[in-house]
Amino acid sequence: MSTSESRFPVSRPALGAGGATGAWRTKKPIINISLCVYCGLCDVYCPTSSITVLTRERKIEVNYDYCKGCGLCASVCPRKAITMVEE
Amino acid sequence: MSFKGVLPGDSSCPGCLLPVALNLVVSSIGKKVVSVVPASCTSVIQGYYPKTAFDFPTINVPFASAAPVAAGVSYALEIRGIKDVVVFAWAGDGGTADIGMAALSGAAERNDNILYIMYDNEAYMNTGIQRSGATPYKAWTTTTPVIGKREAKKDVAKIMIAHGAKYVATASVGFHQDFIAKIRKASSISGFRFIQLHLPCPVGWRFDSEKTVEVAKLAVETGAWILYEYQDGKLRLTGPSAQLIEESRRKPLEEYLLLQGRFSHLTKEDIEQIKKLIKEQWEWIKKMI
Amino acid sequence: MRREALTGNQAVAMAVMYSDVKFVAAYPITPQTSIVEKISYFVEKGLMKAKFVNVESEHSALAMTYGAALGGVRSFTATSSHGLLYMHEWVHWASRSRVPLVMAVVTRTIGPPWNIWPDHSDYMDQRDAGWIMLFAMDAQEAFDMTVQAFRISEDERVFLPVMVGLEGFIVGGTTMSVALPDEESVKEWVGERRQPFVFDGSANITLGNLASPEDTYILHRNIHEDLLRSIEVIKEIEKDYSETFGLPYIGPVETVGEKESSYAVISMGAWSGDLAEAIKQLGRNDVSLYRIRVYRPFPCKELRQALSRKNGIVVFDRSISFGSFGPLYMDVKACLDSEYTNVVNVIGGLGGVDHSLGEYVSVLRKILGEMDREEKLEKQIWMEVSR
């Protein structure tokens, strides 16, 4: 019997399973904190789950490791608080 | 935002809302899940074995099998007395409207206890934008490269209504609250449930990656994609569509079409024909409500 | 142990019920139909506590059986011929997923022309899929092998699906006397459902996502190696079964006649009975029959032992790899050392042709005579058919 890891085509959850997708980016989102109202729409619509908004704590964080730079966060922001800038 | 089912580092194209839609599904069901994914874009975005970006149980299966595999899991759980799990199929329009249709029809006819979500990006996107039954009239694809699709979009939700499915809904990734409400309602019912989710594809529809939400919203706001739910023999318009029965309240169709490169070749006559098809769809809705 | 008069198909259905199967999805096809009819009767009568689902195709039959197996219950399906070919994609998907389940294949010719009689062409079409493939020759074996199949499939050293082959009509539809162990003791012998992983919401695992070429290579090589090693598990389980229920142990290859004979005839399935009779009628005691009961993994070691120091070997195939040889012949040849040159392939029974005893005697007499006289042999001989 071979080892269990190489017998079954079964995978386990991990960050970066599809690679370090941050490297795909040509533009990056920059947040203007003074405009942000912490509504969380960018959090909902970020396809890479790279933006975390804590509405009650009034906190917003961007993780650039996996952000693909698609610009959806900037386009859905009702306050235009996110700008896409060249890498 | 609550639990994200798709972990950072999946390999979907930039601007694709497929991971967002899946996050909404697994966080809104409110129970444990088992998902079944046939060949489609979703098969290739999970990352490489032995890792997966999907932080929820997922069974990958070949085409034409999403409904029966999901039903098989669901029967097993029923036999084992497990009640706190929703088994859902997550299939593209090709795997649903075309190659998976017989299997889908069988599951609907038997009222198998599954939630079937068709994510409709209106072509075979995984293989590189080929025409599917769910491609709309005149849309450019790599297999309708000059003239565009000659036929109208196959209406799978209507086919599911004809099967007497327990719950049938259309949804749009652009209106996430409406989608969440439908996922929640569908998860509270047992039996066969079907949701057709309109999911614009930046690569295949030829628009920039930041416009996916805008395109999705415009499809609804122009009346090209109608949000409704069907339950117990009654159809009900939902979300913005509820206010759009009167044509005058809809945005001009051109706003939706002209954002997309796949419609850049349209003539005036083509646009008139598309408008006629949309009008027919609304006429059907009016009869149903 | 009581005896009942059962067809091969009824014996399979009984074995499924006795093995505590909880889920069956199937689509009817001649000559498999009476298996699913019988099981649906058992379920609707409440004799068998299981779910039976009438699916809309064979593709869905194996897909749903697989889903239920992944969901944690012992699952079974059955099919034939075009149904098996229609689900062929799933035959591969099930084994490459390493999911334990059992399928009966009631063999039937592939068309066109439409033909419902049995040969082995449908069964042989699955030989490269990574399943354990057993082949019965009568209703008793159909019962015994089906019960054993669940234990083999769910053995942690194996964790692969198992196919039980039996010929349509001549085994599936013919009533024979079957020794049946008591239902409860069979259930106990088969035991609790065992599987390598389960999809019931308890673990966030993903089955079958993309893998690199290298990882795929290793996964697939491990299917092959586990399959090769499974021959010992198959023997061990058959031994345990025969000891528990007081039945004779036969093994992956059955020998009929003297072990030390000069010549070997190799075959698989019900026509082995005709061949054994034909060998008797030849009136010579230097010929033995070797019947293949386990086709995958191919019992190479067992055959090499059995065939050592034979002067000639005749392999009967009931299907043909068009443009080449019969699959059984190719497997036998691949196992033998290079000094074995006297190996002849006889093709017959295609389309369900029922050759007479005289015809078997005559073809064997011809080939063995040539071997006796050390004449140059034709490698492939087709049985003659008169229309």
Q: Which helix (H) or strand (E) holds C94?
A: helix C88-96
* pLDDT tens digit sequence for C217-227: 999 999 999 99
CB < 8 Å to C197, chain A:
8, 10
Quick check: C156 and A8 CB within 8 A? no
Nearest to C207 among A1, A10, A13 (CB): A10
Tell whether A57 lies on the interface with B, counting CB pairs under 8 A.
Answer: no
Nearest to A7 among C98, C206, C209 (CB): C98
- How many domains in chain A? 1
Nearest to C201 among B32, B48, B50 (CB): B32
Other C-beta atoms closer than 10 Å to the C-beta of B235 total: 17
Residue C387 has pLDDT above 90, yes or no: no
For residue A4, the distance in angstroms to the closest alpha carbon of chain C comes to: 9
Nearest to A13 among B19, B52, B213 (CB): B52
Residue among C23, C68, C66 at smallest CA distance from C43: C23
Q: What are phi and psi of C276, to 5 degrees?
A: -60, -40
Distance between CA atoms of residues C290 and C267, nearest Å = 7
* pLDDT tens digit sequence for C167-203: 999 999 999 999 999 999 999 999 999 999 999 999 9
**Average pLDDT score over residue span C362-382:** 97
Average pLDDT across each block of 10 residues of chain B; the chain has 289 residues. List them in order.
84 98 96 98 97 98 98 98 98 98 98 98 97 98 97 98 97 98 97 98 98 98 98 96 98 98 97 98 97
Q: Give the SS3 label for residue A28.
A: strand
Residue position matching structure tokens 């859902």: B88
Tell whether C386 lies on the interface with B, counting CB pairs under 8 A.
Answer: no
Distance between CA atoms of residues C379 and C314, nearest Å = 10
Taking CB atoms and an 8 Å cut-off, how many pairs form between chains B and C?
162
Buried b or exposed e, range C44-81, using 16+ CB within 10 angstroms: eeeebebbbbebbbbbbbbbbbbbbbbbbbbbbbbbbb
Residue position matching structure tokens 């005058």: B248
Quick check: B48 and A5 CB within 8 A? no
Taken in order B76, B78, B84, B87, is the CA torsion positive or negative? positive
Structure tokens at B160: 């599911």
What is the pLDDT confidence band of residue A1, given thresholds at 50, 70 and 90?
very low
Quick check: A2 and C208 CB within 8 A? no
CB < 8 Å to A7, chain C:
98, 159, 196, 219, 222, 226
Alpha helices in C169-324 (DSSP H): 183-190, 213-245, 271-282, 300-306
- Nearest-by-CA chain C residue for B44: C210
What is the pLDDT confidence band of residue C337, given thresholds at 50, 70 and 90?
confident
For residue A34, the distance in angstroms to the closest alpha carbon of chain B comes to: 21
* pLDDT tens digit sequence for C255-287: 999 989 999 999 999 999 999 999 999 999 999
Quick check: B10 and A12 CB within 8 A? no
Q: What is the pLDDT of residue B4?
A: 87
Nearest to A9 among C97, C157, C225 (CB): C97
* pLDDT tens digit sequence for C30-62: 999 999 999 999 999 999 999 999 999 999 999
Residue among C295, C273, C268 at smallest CA distance from C360: C273
Where in the sequence is the domain holding A31, given as residue range(s)?
20-86
Structure tokens at B66: 């999403």
Same fold, C2-245 and C254-382: yes
Distance between CA atoms of residues C166 and C108, nearest Å = 9
Distance between CA atoms of residues C6 and C14, nearest Å = 9
Query: Which subunits have 3 or more CB–CB pairs within 8 Å of chain A?
Result: B, C
Q: What is the pLDDT of residue A2?
A: 44
Arch. (CATH architecture) of C254-382 = 3-Layer(aba) Sandwich (3.40)
For residue C222, the distance in angstroms to the closest alpha carbon of chain A comes to: 6
Assess if residue A8 is contained within a domain: no
What is the pLDDT confidence band of residue C340, given thresholds at 50, 70 and 90?
confident
- Nearest-by-CA chain C residue for B83: C200
Tell whether C206 lies on the interface with B, counting CB pairs under 8 A.
Answer: yes
| Better-predicted residue by pLDDT, C386 or C131 | C131
The packing angle between helices C271-282 and C357-372, to 10°, is: 60
| Best of A25, A56, A72 to mutate (most B CBs within 10 Å, chain B) | A72
Residue C380 has pLDDT above 70, yes or no: yes
- Residue pair C160/C198 in contact by the 8 Å Cβ criterion: no
For residue B147, the distance in angstroms to the closest alpha carbon of chain A comes to: 30
Query: What ipTM does this complex have?
Result: 0.97
DSSP characters for B69-105?
Answer: HHHHHHHHHHHTT--SEEEEEEEEHIIIIITTHHHHH
Nearest to C196 among A6, A8, A11 (CB): A8
Quick check: A17 and B9 CB within 8 A? yes
Nearest to A24 among B14, B17, B18 (CB): B14
**Average pLDDT score over residue span C12-29:** 98
On the question of a cis peptide bond just before residue B136, with omega within 30 degrees of 0, the verdict is: no
- Nearest-by-CA chain C residue for B34: C201
Residue A4 has pLDDT above 70, yes or no: no
For residue C90, the distance in angstroms to the closest alpha carbon of chain B comes to: 8
Q: What is the pLDDT of residue B238?
A: 98
* Domain CATH code at residue A51: 3.30.70.20
Distance between CA atoms of residues C98 and C160, nearest Å = 5
Quick check: A74 and B6 CB within 8 A? no
Nearest to C56 among B49, B75, B103 (CB): B103
Q: Which amino acid is at B191?
A: G
Quick check: A48 and B48 CB within 8 A? no
Quick check: A1 and C156 CB within 8 A? yes
What is the pLDDT confidence band of residue C364, given thresholds at 50, 70 and 90?
very high
By a Cβ cutoff of 8 Å, what residues of chain A touch chain C? 1-2, 4, 6-13
Q: What is the pLDDT of residue B192?
A: 98
Arch. (CATH architecture) of C2-245 = 3-Layer(aba) Sandwich (3.40)
CB < 8 Å to A21, chain B:
8-11
Quick check: C197 and A8 CB within 8 A? yes
Structure tokens at C126: 């699955």
* pLDDT tens digit sequence for A56-83: 999 999 999 999 999 999 999 999 999 9
Structure tokens at C362: 């005559």
Distance between CA atoms of residues C126 and B76, nearest Å = 27
Residue C323 has pLDDT above 80, yes or no: yes
Q: What is the pLDDT of residue A3?
A: 47
Quick check: B68 and C63 CB within 8 A? yes
What are the residues facing B61 on neighbouring strands? B38
* Structural domain boundaries in chain C: 2-245, 254-382
Percent share of chain C, pLDDT over 70: 100
Q: What is the pLDDT of residue C256?
A: 96
Tell whether B84 lies on the interface with C, counting CB pairs under 8 A.
Answer: yes
Structure tokens at C69: 């197996």
Quick check: C69 and B110 CB within 8 A? no
* pLDDT tens digit sequence for C102-119: 999 999 999 999 999 999
Q: 209-238 in C: which are within 8 Å (CB) of B?
A: 209-212, 215
CB < 8 Å to B15, chain A:
47, 68, 70-72
DSSP one-letter code for B163: T
Nearest to A9 among C204, C208, C226 (CB): C208
Q: 25-64 in C: which are within 8 Å (CB) of B?
A: 25, 50-51, 53-57, 59-61, 63-64
Q: Which amino acid is at C8?
A: G
Assess if residue A12 is contained within a domain: no
Query: Which subunits have 3 or more CB–CB pairs within 8 Å of chain B?
Result: A, C
Distance between CA atoms of residues B84 and C85, nearest Å = 37
CATH number of B18-288: 3.40.50.970
All residues at 6 or more sequence positions from B149 whose CB lies less than 8 Å from its CB, including other chains: B131, B135, B136, B137, B138, B139, B141
Q: What is the pLDDT of residue A5?
A: 61
DSSP characters for B212-241?
Answer: HHHHHHHHHHTTSS--EEEETTEEEE-GGG
Residue B181 has, within 13 A of its CA and on its CB side, a CA count of: 13
Tell whether C290 lies on the interface with B, counting CB pairs under 8 A.
Answer: no
- Nearest-by-CA chain A residue for B20: A47
* pLDDT tens digit sequence for B116-142: 999 999 999 999 999 999 999 999 999
CB < 8 Å to B56, chain C:
204
Assess if residue A5 is contained within a domain: no
Nearest to B211 among A9, A44, A75 (CB): A75
